[in-house]
Structure 1
């Protein structure tokens, strides 16, 4: 089964489930295929995820049922606990390099070619950024007969030097939402940096005051009369 214009887009939860299975198959092969509980933990982990989700077991189970119907996920046999594995490459009909890029985009959201090359290190080692861009362009130029484009190159965000890429497995991308999110995250990081610097300065000043008080024989906790 190949995704086509007639195929309904993946939901955000289905994309998270599928991307997590693709990630764990490459990064923790000894624990793969995954049980439902392990898959849930992977979907909800705080690192290497954008956006961060707090899914319930029922959410993941529903997504798995839908993905199995699309032939993108399979149940594995030979275990007392039901385990699941992805069938993305064959299901979508793309080479390994393209599958890796789509998997990372599903898990981490829009990224530049440079970020994708760095983030795919544990999945697949691309020779250089040009090779990443080459596979992205192939995914963007997929003909309608082969299912249509699977990624899109976004407009350059305000203040950004490079354009980011996003997957289209969940349908068209709302760039205005992405730009807003990027700005808000930048503000959050900037505020956090200022807070950390202020806390450091306060700690330094407190240490200096304590040292002076000790030299003068004054208790810093005792208010001046």
Structure 2
């Protein structure tokens, strides 16, 4: 099983150098598709490490899965491939060639561009990339399989560090008010939201509860199983394609 925090440098055909890595997040300006692909790579690295790095088919499936995505998309394979090219250009991803494999696989390099990020902070970035603007309570619940936070306060502390990240913030805090009942957070990998302020979705009172219910935990587990099945199916299809079946 691969270690989610280990870069397989021996398997890569290109490695970002210090001189080539952007110094400011403002230079990244990811497209929606690039953000979705990066989020999927971060997610699958943690939740299905046996199948990571991902083939293009597996990455395509991950981008369009119906669970843990907002919005649910129907990106084409060519769009996913183009997004990967964009991420490689921005030094946030690479292709890896593994011994015995005929198909190159896709891997993120977020930790090389932002080496000081903790596992907890990476988990938050992952879920923000995949699901957009969320409350601290939602983020705590939705990062459970990536990194378990002890409580909402711990989640907020990690979010605060991302809001204060140097040289440029990676996350923005949207305070309650102006029709927003609860403070929310958004990622800044695609730049500032239009008008400098995002519109928060309607928040149910239950979303502020610190501990997820047994039903929510069960739903998270089922979503995880569906993700693993989808990834496995995509990998099997890739093998069939390699063998010409």
Same-fold call, TM cutoff 0.5: yes
**Corresponding position of 1:214:** none
Choose which of 166, 170, 181 in structure 2 pairs with 1:150: 170
1:41 corresponds, among 61, 70, 85, to: 61
RMSD over aligned CA atoms reads: 2.2
**Which of 68, 74, 77 is matched with 1:54 structurally?**
74
- Asked whether the 8 Å contact 1:89–1:95 carries over to 2, the reply is no
Identify which of 69, 76, 92 aligns with 2:96: 76
In structure 2, do the counterparts of structure 1 residues 3 and 51 end up closer, same or farther at CA, with 3 Å as the change threshold? farther
SS of alignment partner, residue 178 of structure 1: coil
Give the structure 2 partner of residue 165 of structure 1. 185
2:108 is aligned, of 72, 77, 86, to 86
Q: 1:100: how far off?
A: 1.1
2:28·2:90 contact (CA, 8 Å) conserved in 1? no
CA distance in 2: counterparts of 1:43 and 1:83, whole angstroms:
15
Aligned-partner Cα distance in 1 for 2:66–2:199:
20
Corresponding position of 1:4: 24
Distance 1:172 1:47 in 2: 26
2:154 is the counterpart of 1:131 = yes
CA distance, structure 2, for counterparts of residue 149 and residue 134 of structure 1: 14
Mapped partners of 2:130, 2:56: distance in 1? 18
Structure 1 stretches lacking a partner, 5+ long = 187-225
Unaligned runs of 5+ residues in structure 2 are 1-20, 205-245
Write out per-residue CA displacement over residues 22-61 of structure 1, whole angstroms, 9 at most, x where no aligned residue: 1011111111111101100110111111111111111111
C-alpha contact 1:153 1:163 (8 A) present in aligned 2: yes
Larger Rg: 1
CA distance in 2, matches of 1:134, 1:73: 28
CA distance in 2 between counterparts of 1:5 and 1:100 reads 18
CA contact (8 A) 1:112 1:164 kept: yes
Of 113, 125, 137, the residue aligned with 1:102 is 125
Deviation at 1:142, TM superposition (A): 2.3
Deviation by residue 1:130-158 (Cα, 9 ceiling, x = unmatched) = 22111111111124xx2x11111113267
Distance 1:113 1:2, change over 3 A: farther
Q: Secondary structure at the match of 2:95?
A: strand
Residues paired across the two proteins, number: 180
The match for 2:86 among 59, 66, 75 is 66
Counterpart CA distance in 1 for 2:56 and 2:183 is 36
Distance in 2 between residues matched to 1:130 and 1:101, nearest whole Å: 14
Change (3 A) 1:157 1:77: farther
CA apart distance, 1:8 = 3.7
Structure 1 length as normaliser, TM-score? 0.73
After superposition, the C-alpha distances for 1:169-203 in whole angstroms (9 at most, x for unaligned) are 10002477634xx35x99xxxxxxxxxxxxxxxxx
